[in-house]
Amino acid sequence: MERYKEIEKSIIKKYRKEIWKRFIRGVNDYDLIQAGDKIAVCISGGKDSMLLAKCMQELQRHWVVKFELVFLVMDPGYNEYNRQVIEENAKELNIPITIFESPIFDIVADVEETPCYLCARMRRGYLYKEAQALGCNKIALGHHFDDVIETILMSMLYSGQIKTMMPKLHSTNFEGMELIRPLYLVKEEDIIAWSRYNDLRFIQCACRLTEHCSVNGQGGGSKRNEMKQLIKKFRQTNPHIEMNIFKSVHDVNLETIIGYHDKEISYNFLDDFDQR
C-alpha cells in the first residue's frame, strides 16, 4: 500500500477516537460545511494544517454532503528549505497543493511593534483574496482545541477581555466569504502523536524574521507558549482544567457579568440593577 494511504488509514483507525471523531463532531456541532461549498484548505506547512488537509480529503470522499476542496499554500517569503519541505510533504501525503506568493515577510520586516499581529492579519487577507479568486466561499484553517483555550487565557490576562477563537466567522472585508476551523475539538497532543506515529516531519515555525524555524520543534518564548506552560501547571492540580476553560465560553452566565459589548452596544450591570 502506498505510504499516503497508510497515513490516511491511521486517522480513521488508530486515531479514530482522538482525531477523526472529534473532527467530525466539530464539523457537525458548529455547522461548518454545507452542500455546494468550495473550501480553500489553507496550508502553512505545519502539522495542524497538513492534518486538516487529510481530514478534509477523507470527509469529501465519504460524507453525504458534497463539496469541493482547494489546497492553498501561501508563500509569504519562505526560505528555500522551508518551501521544499512543504512541497515534499504535500507530495508524500497526496495533497494537490496550489501555491501562490505574497510579499508579507518583506513588508513586516521593518515593523518594530507587533510584527506578528500584522503578519497574521495580512496573511488572512491574502488567503481570502486568493481563495475568492479561485471561486471559493470558505477558507479552512488548522487551529485546534489548544489554540482555543490559549486564546481565552491570553485575552483575559493580556487584553482584559473575555474573548475566544470562534469556530467560524464571516469575513468583514471579503463579501460572501467565511472562515471555518474544523479541528476545533482536536487536541494538539493527539496531532503530535499522529505525526510521530507516521514519522512525519513538518515545519514548526517558518518565520524568517525571528529565525526560529525548526522542524517538529517546540517554538520560542511567545505568549502562546507561555499559556501552554501555564495550562500545564494548572493540569497538575486539576486534570479537567482545559475542558473547563473551553466550556466556560459555551455557558456564560450573563447575570454574573459586570459588563459586555456587542459591536456598538455596551451594557453595564448597573443599567438595570434596580429593575431586577
Instruction: Please compute the mean of the pLDDT values over residues 143-153 and round it to a whole number.
Output: 96
178-180 vs 168-170, strand pairing mode: antiparallel
Cα distance from N-terminal residue to C-terminal residue, the chain: 67
Decide: 59 and 34 in contact? Cβ < 8 Å: no
State pLDDT tens for residues 53-81.
999 999 999 999 999 999 999 988 788 88
- Residue 213, pLDDT > 50, answer no
State pLDDT tens for residues 107-145.
766 666 655 666 777 788 889 999 999 999 999 999 999
Grid cell of 208 as nine digits: 524568517
Report the half-sphere exposure of 60 (CA within 13 A, side-chain side).
18
Tell me the C-alpha distance between 5 and 165, whole Å. Answer: 32
Q: Quote the pLDDT of residue 220.
A: 43
Q: Which of 8-12, 72-76, 101-105, 164-168 has the lowest mean pLDDT?
A: 101-105
Q: Quote the pLDDT of residue 80.
A: 86
Tell me the C-alpha distance between 49 and 142, whole Å. Answer: 5
Q: Quote the pLDDT of residue 219.
A: 43
- Edge to edge, the sheet with strand 97-101 lists 97-101, 68-75, 38-43, 138-140, 178-180, 168-170
- Residue 103, pLDDT > 80, answer no
Q: Where are the domains of the chain?
A: 3-253
Grid cell of 196 as nine digits: 510521530
Decide: 39 and 139 in contact? Cβ < 8 Å: yes
- Please enumerate in sequence order all residues whose Cβ is within 8 A of that of 155, keeping only pairs 6 or more positions apart, or say none: 161, 162, 163, 164
Tell me the C-alpha distance between 219 and 210, whole Å. Answer: 11
What does pTM read for this prediction?
0.90
Mean pLDDT over the full length of the chain: 89
Instruction: Please compute the mean of the pLDDT values over residues 198-218 and round it to a whole number.
Output: 64
Domain 3-253 sits in CATH at 3.40.50.620
Q: Quote the pLDDT of residue 112.
A: 61
- 206: pLDDT confidence band, cut at 50, 70 and 90? low
Decide: 82 and 203 in contact? Cβ < 8 Å: yes
Percent of the chain whose predicted confidence (pLDDT) is above 90:
75
Annotate 82-124 with DSSP letters as a single string: HHHHHHHHHHHTT--EEEEE--HHHHHTT--S-HHHHHHHHHH
**Mind spelling out the 3-state secondary structure of 118-167?**
HHHHHHHHHHHHHHHHCCCCEEECCCCHHHHHHHHHHHHHHHCCCCCCCC
- Residue 87, pLDDT > 60, answer yes
Residue (of 39, 12, 27, 19) closest to 182 by Cα position: 27
- Please enumerate in sequence order all residues whose Cβ is within 8 A of that of 42, keeping only pairs 6 or more positions apart, or say none: 49, 72, 73, 74, 127, 131, 139, 140, 141, 142
Decide: 27 and 59 in contact? Cβ < 8 Å: yes
State pLDDT tens for residues 159-194.
999 999 999 999 999 999 999 999 999 999 999 999
Grid cell of 36 as nine digits: 455546494
